[in-house]
Amino acid sequence: MGDTEDYVPYPQPGGLICWAESYSGDGFYWRTSPADPNAWPVVVRGDNGDWSEFPVGAVEFLVGVYQQTIHVPGMPKNFPSDDPQVLGLDG
């Protein structure tokens, strides 16, 4: 869309791999650099076009968001709610 903040798609070196999307149009990515996949940071593209990078893996990122220790710019102020629920694929 031309608003990539110099991020590139995988398989380019350091390219992004999408691992989740929100119902609001936010995209969640791994930046494939450094070489060790366990060290790939999380990159978030908000539906408003803001890009943010977090030096943690996906699980640590999700825990931080739900515990409200990681704030993602551009996300609604009430996200997550005070009583968030995580649902599995079956329901």
pTM metric for this prediction: 0.84
Quick check: 16 and 8 in contact, CB under 8 A?
yes
Whether 2 is in a domain gets the answer: no
- Distance between CA 41 and CA 30 in Å, rounded? 6
CB under 8 Å to 69, separation ≥6 — which residues? none
Query: For the chain, what is the largest distance between any 2 Cα atoms, rounded to a whole number of angstroms?
Result: 39
Whether 56 is in a domain gets the answer: yes
Whether 76 is in a domain gets the answer: no
Q: List the pLDDT tens digit at each of the 91 positions of the chain.
A: 457 888 999 999 999 999 999 888 889 999 999 889 999 999 999 888 889 999 999 999 999 998 889 999 887 777 787 777 777 777 5
31 membership: H or E segment, kind and range = strand 27-31
Whether 7 is in a domain gets the answer: no
Q: Which domain holds residue 55?
A: 16-66
Whether 31 is in a domain gets the answer: yes
Whether 11 is in a domain gets the answer: no
pLDDT of residue 11: 94
pLDDT of residue 2: 57
**What is the tally of structural domains in the chain?**
1
Dig out the tokens for 65 from the structure.
């968001």
CB under 8 Å to 89, separation ≥6 — which residues? none
pLDDT of residue 91: 54
Whether 45 is in a domain gets the answer: yes
